Structure 1
Amino acid sequence: MSRKLKIGIIGSGGIAGAHVKAYRELSDVEIVAVADVIPDKSAQFVSHWNLTSARAFDDYKQLLELELDAVSICTPNVAHYQTTLDALRAGKHVMLEKPMSVTLEEAVEMAQTAAKTGYMLNVGFQPRYDPNMKIIQDLVQSGQLGKVYYVETGGGRRRGMPGGTFIRKDIAGAGAIADIGCYSLDMALNAMGYPKPLTVSAYSSNHFGTNPKFHKEASQFDVEDFGVAMVRFEGDLVLNFKISWAMHMDTLGPTIFLGTEAGLKVTPAGKGSWSGVFDGKVGSITMYHDVRGHHTESAIPLIEHNKNVFHEKVRDFVEAVQEDKPAPIPGELIVRNQAIIDGILRSSQLKREVDIQL
C-alpha cells in the first residue's frame, strides 16, 4: 500500500496515548481523527499530542463518517460493545482494547458482526508479543507435557488497585477479573489453543477497595478486587483461576500446566506492590519431568529482548489491515475469554456453578 493508512482513535484516556505513540513509530500510518464523549477532551488530546492533521470530535459517529481504514477503540469497557458494532458497520477495521466487552452476549454479537461485515475485530493482548510467551505456547503444544489436565493461572498484586473509571461498575463493568484477569486467561488459554469452556464455579469480593484505609475512592468502589474460579473445559481439562488487585500476601503463585509427561511453571516478572500478574513480562519458566526415572527440573532459558510489546501489537494490526490478512488476535477467539469472565461474574453473584453457553 503506497498511501498512508488512515486511523481514528475513539476514546482519549490514558491508553489512547499508548496507541498514539505506537502509530507514530510507523511511517505508513496517519492519525486523522480523535473522538471522545466528554466535550473538548478530544481537542485537548489532539493538542497535547500535537496531532496536527487530526480532527477532534465529541461524537464518535461523526468520526466514523470519515474515510478511515481502521480505528483504535480506547473507551471505557461499557462502551466497547456499541462502539465496535458501529465501527464495523461503518466499514472500519477495529483494534479494540481489552477486555472485549462486559457480557458474553455482547462479545458474541461483536464477533458475529465482524464476520458479517468482513472487517477485522482485533483484541489487544500485547503480552502475547513477548517472545517468552511464544516459548510457553510452543512447549505446551509440542506434546512434551503429554496430556494437559490441570492449569492454574492468575496472579495477585499486594497493592495495585487503580481508581477512576476502573472501579465503577457502570463504566468498567467489572474489576480485577476483567482488568488484569483477562491477561492471565489469555496466556493460559492461548498456549492450549483456546479450548471451549463448559462450566464455572466462582467467588469474588472487594474487601480492600471498599475500605477507606486501603483506597482513597472507597465510596465509589463497586467492582470486585479479588476473584477465584474453577473452570471446566471440553477434553476433561480444568483451570484454577485466581486474581487480586490487593491482598495481605506476597503472591498467589505461578501459572502451572500439569501434564501426564511433564509440568510447566511460569512466574511473572517484576517486583513491588503492582507486580505479580501477567500483564507484563515473564520472570521464569521451569519444566518438571523425569529423566531415566529421576525427578528433573529444567530451567528454560528466557529470551532477553527490548521489544516494546505494545508497539508490536499495533504494528501487527496495521500490517494485517495493509496486507488484508486475518486479525492477529481475532474477536471470535477472545469470545471464549469473555465467556469465562462472564461466567465468573455470574457464578460469584449467584454463589453456585453456572453453565457457559457458546
Structure 2
Amino acid sequence: MSNKLRIGIIGTGGIAKAHISAYKKLPYVEIVGVADVIPSKAATFAETEGLTEAASFDSHNELLKLELDGVSICTPNVSHHITTVDALRAGKNVLLEKPMSVTLQEGIEMTQAAKESGKMLTLGFQPRYDPNMKLLQTIVQSGRLGNVYYVETGGGRRRGMPGGTFISKKLAGAGAMADIGCYSLDMALNTLGYPRPLTVSAFTSNHFGSNNIYHPEASNFEVEDFGVAMVRFENDLVLQFKISWAMHMDTLGATMFLGTDAGLKVTPAGIGPWSGVWDGSVGSITLFHDEFGAHTATPIPTIEHKLNLFDQKVHDFAEAVRDGRPAPIPGDQILIQQAIIDGVLRSAESRREVSVELPQ
C-alpha cells in the first residue's frame, strides 16, 4: 500500500485541470479516481490528463467508495451541496471550489456535515495566498488604522460576462455576486477577521446580460450582472459592496478601509476588460494619515513574487490533510459571506433592507 495521499476529483470541467496540474507537482500525492455525471466524460478526462492509473466513474458516490484522503470538488455550483455533504459523510476531506453553495441553507448543511464527520471542508479562494493580501491583513489587524468603521470593496469588469452554467439561476444560484463578488467579500472580510453581519440593503440588475447586443446568450441570462449593497456589521462597522460583470465605466473604484487613525486604499492588479476585480493580486497599497498636522499619503511597497496562487491553495489543502492541520479556509468563515450574498439577493428582490440569517 502506497503512503501517498489518495485524492479524487469530482467534476471534470476546466477548473479540474488546474487542480490536477497542482496535485501533480506534489510527490506525496496520487490521483486515484475521477467522477463526472456525464457518462464516459470522466474516463475521457482521465485519459486526456494522463491519469493512467486512476479509476473513472459516472457517479461521485461510486468514487467515494474508494479509499481516499481527500477530494477536490469542481462541479457546477448547483452540485456543490450534495457532493460536499456526501464526501464528508463518506469520511473524505474536501477542497471545494467557490462559491460555497447556491443557497444559504445548503451552506449551513455543508458546515454541519463537516462538524459531524470531523473532516475538513476548505474553500478555494486562491487570492488569499498572495503575500500582499496577507500584508493587508497584517496592516489592518495591527491597529494602525484605529477603529475601522467603513469599508468599500468590490470591482467591475468593463466586459467580462461568462455564459453556460454561470448564467442559469437554477445551476449557479447567483451571477456576478457569487462568481467574482465572493472574492471581493473574502478579501475584505478576511482582512477584518470575518465580523458578523446584521443587515443588508441591496440592488441588482442585468441590463447587459439580458441584452443580445452585449451577450450571445441573452435569452438564457437569468442572473444579475451588477449589484451593490450596504452591509451592517456588529460594532458599528458598515461595508459597501459593489460588483459588475459589465458596465460603461473603467472602474468601480478601489477598496478602502476607513479608520479613526488612518485609511488604507488598495487597487487590484491587472489590465483589460476582464480585470478590475479581486480574483487576482494587489496593484497598489496606500496609507492615508496625518503627520505633524499635515495630510500624508504613504505608499506601501507591494511584495513581488512568482507564486502560482492556484497551486498554493491546492498544496495547502494537501499539506493540511497530510499534517492533520485544520482547514486552511474553513467553511464556517465562508458561510458568513454566503449569508451576505443570500441577503443581497433577498433584499434586491424585496426592495428593502433584510436581516442576515446565520446560525448561532
TM-score range, shorter chain: over 0.9
Distance 1:14 1:165 in 2: 13
TM-score for both structures, normalised by structure 1: 0.99
Distance 1:171 1:334 in 2: 20
Distance 2:29 2:267 in 1: 36
The one-letter amino acid paired with 1:172 is A
The one-letter amino acid paired with 2:145 is L
Aligned residue in 2 for 1:299? 299
Distance 2:221 2:41 in 1: 24
Q: Percent same amino acid at aligned positions?
A: 70
Distance 1:222 1:44 in 2: 31
Are 1:338 and 2:327 counterparts?
A: no
Q: Which segment drifts farther, 102-111 or 223-232?
A: 102-111
Aligned residue in 2 for 1:121? 121
The Cα shift of 1:161 comes to 0.5
Aligned residue in 1 for 2:260? 260
The Cα shift of 1:48 comes to 1.1
Aligned residue in 1 for 2:90? 90
Structure 1 runs (4+) deviating above 4 angstroms are none
Distance 1:247 1:21 in 2: 34
Aligned residue in 2 for 1:3? 3
Distance 1:280 1:333 in 2: 20
Aligned residue in 1 for 2:287? 287
Aligned residue in 1 for 2:277? 277
Distance 2:273 2:333 in 1: 32
The one-letter amino acid paired with 1:312 is Q
Aligned residue in 2 for 1:191? 191
Aligned residue in 2 for 1:65? 65
Structure 1 residue runs without a partner (length 5+): none
Q: How does 1:1-358 map to 2 (within 5 A)?
A: 3-358=3-358
Once the two structures are superposed, residues 111-151 of structure 1 have per-residue CA deviations (whole angstroms, 9 ceiling, x without a partner) of 11101110000001000000000010001100000000000
The Cα shift of 1:105 comes to 1.2
The Cα shift of 1:219 comes to 1.2
Distance 2:225 2:333 in 1: 26
The Cα shift of 1:308 comes to 0.3
SS of residue in 2 equivalent to 1:235? helix
Distance 1:328 1:204 in 2: 32
Distance 2:229 2:251 in 1: 17
SS of residue in 2 equivalent to 1:229? strand
Distance 2:289 2:252 in 1: 23
SS of residue in 1 equivalent to 2:266? strand
Distance 1:349 1:19 in 2: 36
SS of residue in 1 equivalent to 2:185? helix
SS of residue in 1 equivalent to 2:149? strand
Once the two structures are superposed, residues 130-184 of structure 1 have per-residue CA deviations (whole angstroms, 9 ceiling, x without a partner) of 0000010001100000000000000000000011111111111110000000000
TM-score for both structures, normalised by structure 2: 0.98
Distance 2:2 2:201 in 1: 52
Distance 1:299 1:325 in 2: 36
Once the two structures are superposed, residues 210-261 of structure 1 have per-residue CA deviations (whole angstroms, 9 ceiling, x without a partner) of 1110011111111110000000001110000000000000000000000000
SS of residue in 1 equivalent to 2:108? helix
Distance 1:353 1:274 in 2: 31
Structure 2 residue runs without a partner (length 5+): none
The Cα shift of 1:285 comes to 0.4
Once the two structures are superposed, residues 79-119 of structure 1 have per-residue CA deviations (whole angstroms, 9 ceiling, x without a partner) of 11111100000000000000111111111111111011100
Distance 1:103 1:235 in 2: 27
The one-letter amino acid paired with 1:244 is S
The Cα shift of 1:41 comes to 1.2
Distance 1:24 1:2 in 2: 16
Distance 2:16 2:2 in 1: 26
The Cα shift of 1:2 comes to 7.5
Equivalenced residue count is 358
Distance 2:185 2:269 in 1: 17
The one-letter amino acid paired with 1:192 is L
The one-letter amino acid paired with 2:45 is F
The Cα shift of 1:44 comes to 1.4
The one-letter amino acid paired with 1:63 is L
Q: Say what the alpha-carbon RMSD is for the aligned residues.
A: 1.0
The one-letter amino acid paired with 2:246 is A
